[in-house]
């Protein structure tokens, strides 16, 4: 049996105000083609299908159209979707009766009956091409603190131990269904100890990432653990079968260098016998311009090579970083004027202050801060941020302001 593991689609995401719909559409089309090319029997989506709990209609349409097309092209494909921390579990599960008819099992949250975990929806059979069950997937969604059983023992982290116990319950339910020759596949949407974070786009979960989960919450004999939440593709704890697939597109500018991919896993006789990463082609580029001065930045932007044949929704994103030896209030307008009519989308303009960075009270002579005159404070603040001296007109305006304040003071 072959399984494709993917996660963190974030349908409906905006990158600095720009929609990602075209990129997501290209990825979903590519994914269907990979299911066909590799004759995959199952698809597991490990959370964060959507970017927010109330996704736009366009994102919902993309998701449901993808599922309908997958069913039409691959009638025997087993599809498992779990909720992530960005998703609304109840919203994701709402159309479950209909999706189940399409062979799609959606798990938005854990259910309890009489205080005990109800595993009926968590254990999903995954079938091979001949229709036989080749694996049992324990489909665990993102767990919030309210989902966890109470932990009263001293010395145990109640969040980590709560997750461990809940996973153990679900795993036991999966094993109860397991037959000889079937693989045990687990899912999770969580932050694992040692995982590499993207600070600009990943929300901190389960106590602000302070309660990272150890890899041993997953049994060593699990054939595969399909994880979501971290956008950088990576294995966990040195175990090749415990993996984040990573996001299919960069969800922040600093994720440009990530390997965006899905994972193809192959199982036989209950074991993982093959693993391959399938790299997702990049449809929209990210460009960067770095310069020491505004003049250098504007000149670099004028000569920036761009493809005028690209459709608007494929124009690259642009990040500009500029050193500011002196204030430049109209810099963004200058940058936008240079880029006007050109096939690029300005996402971010970052000013890098070039002053000495000295603390305000650092006088070098031991003087007390309270002894400084207002103009001394102004000049020191200015020198902290800018390497050039203030413009005489700016200094004159400051002095005029100080005089006005002193005249009106009681």
Nearest to 321 by CA among 368, 284, 353: 353
pLDDT at residue 167, rounded to an integer: 94
Residues of the chain with pLDDT under 70: 115, 195-211, 359-370, 410
pLDDT tens string 119-152: 778 999 999 999 999 999 999 999 998 888 888 8
DSSP-derived pairing of the beta strands 78-82 and 104-107: parallel
pLDDT at residue 201, rounded to an integer: 54
pLDDT at residue 361, rounded to an integer: 63
Q: What is the CA radius of gyration of the chain?
A: 27
């Amino acid at each position: 049996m072959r399984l494709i593991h993917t996660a963190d689609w974030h349908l409906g995401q905006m990158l600095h105000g720009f929609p990602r719909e075209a990129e997501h559409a290209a990825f979903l089309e590519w994914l269907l083609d990979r299911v066909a090319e590799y004759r995959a029997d199952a698809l597991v989506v490990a959370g964060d299908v959507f970017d927010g709990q109330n996704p736009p209609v366009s994102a919902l349409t993309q998701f449901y159209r993808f599922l309908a097309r997958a069913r039409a092209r691959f009638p025997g494909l087993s599809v498992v979707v779990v909720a992530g921390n960005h998703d609304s579990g109840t919203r994701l599960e709402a159309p479950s009766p209909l999706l189940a008819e399409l062979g799609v099992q959606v798990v938005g949250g854990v259910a309890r009956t009489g205080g005990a975990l109800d595993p009926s929806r968590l254990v999903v059979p995954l079938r091979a091409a001949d229709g036989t069950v080749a694996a049992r997937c324990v489909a665990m969604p993102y767990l919030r603190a309210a989902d966890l059983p109470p932990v009263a023992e001293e010395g145990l982290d109640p969040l980590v131990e709560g997750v461990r116990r809940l996973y153990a319950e679900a795993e036991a339910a999966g094993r109860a269904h397991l037959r000889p020759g079937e693989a045990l596949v687990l899912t999770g949407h969580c932050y694992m100890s040692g995982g590499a974070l993207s600070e600009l786009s990943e929300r901190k979960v389960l106590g602000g990432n302070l309660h990272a989960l150890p890899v041993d919450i997953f049994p060593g004999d699990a054939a595969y653990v399909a994880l979501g939440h971290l956008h950088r593709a990576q294995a966990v704890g040195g175990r090749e079968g415990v993996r984040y697939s990573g996001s299919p597109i960069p969800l922040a500018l600093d994720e440009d260098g990530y390997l965006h991919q899905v994972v193809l896993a192959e199982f036989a006789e209950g074991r993982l016998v093959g693993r391959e990463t399938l790299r997702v082609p990049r449809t929209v580029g990210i460009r960067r311009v770095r310069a020491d001065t505004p003049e250098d930045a504007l000149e670099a932007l004028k000569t920036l090579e761009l493809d005028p044949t690209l459709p608007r929704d494929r124009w690259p994103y642009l990040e500009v970083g500029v050193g500011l030896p002196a204030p430049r209030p109209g810099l963004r307008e200058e940058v936008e004027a240079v880029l006007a009519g050109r096939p690029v989308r300005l996402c971010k303009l970052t000013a890098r202050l070039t002053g000495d960075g000295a603390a305000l009270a650092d006088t070098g002579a031991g003087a007390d801060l309270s002894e400084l005159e207002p103009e001394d404070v102004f000049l020191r603040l200015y020198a902290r941020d800018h390497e050039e001296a203030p413009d005489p007109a700016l200094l004159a305006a400051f002095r005029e302001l100080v005089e006005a304040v002193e005249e009106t003071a009681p």
